[in-house]
Amino acid sequence: MTASQTVSILHHFSSIEDPRIKQAERKKHELPDIFFITLSTVISGADNGVTVDDSVKPKEDEFIEQFALPHGIPSHDSFGYIFATIDTGQFSECFSSWVADLAQLTEGR
């Protein structure tokens, strides 16, 4: 693995600009956490904000422990808002880079 290769979702998606208001106290959830939760549930079959939320609820304690989510799991409205307002071109580039590194590191498996 080279220094530039990583399968870390947090690494690959860290460059996406947060579309939410700049006031930190109004942001209950970190953007990289929202991306990780979303991608991990989409891989498991979720396909919209409600099904992401439904997929996370049974594993809420595990996600909270893993990510130290002081406000719990984001609501389906939070997931929906983020994906309706992020720069989709930026997201697509980050996703493509992540998948390319994942494919290379797993030798296409």
Which span out of 16-25, 55-64, 84-93 was modeled with the highest average pLDDT?
84-93
Q: What is the mean pLDDT of residues 20-41?
A: 82
Average pLDDT score over residue span 8-16: 87
Nearest C-alpha neighbor of 11 from the set 75, 76, 102, 78: 102
What pTM, to 2 d.p., does this model score? 0.78
pLDDT at 25: 64
pLDDT at 90: 94
Per-domain boundaries in the chain: 29-105
Residue 87: its pLDDT value, please? 93
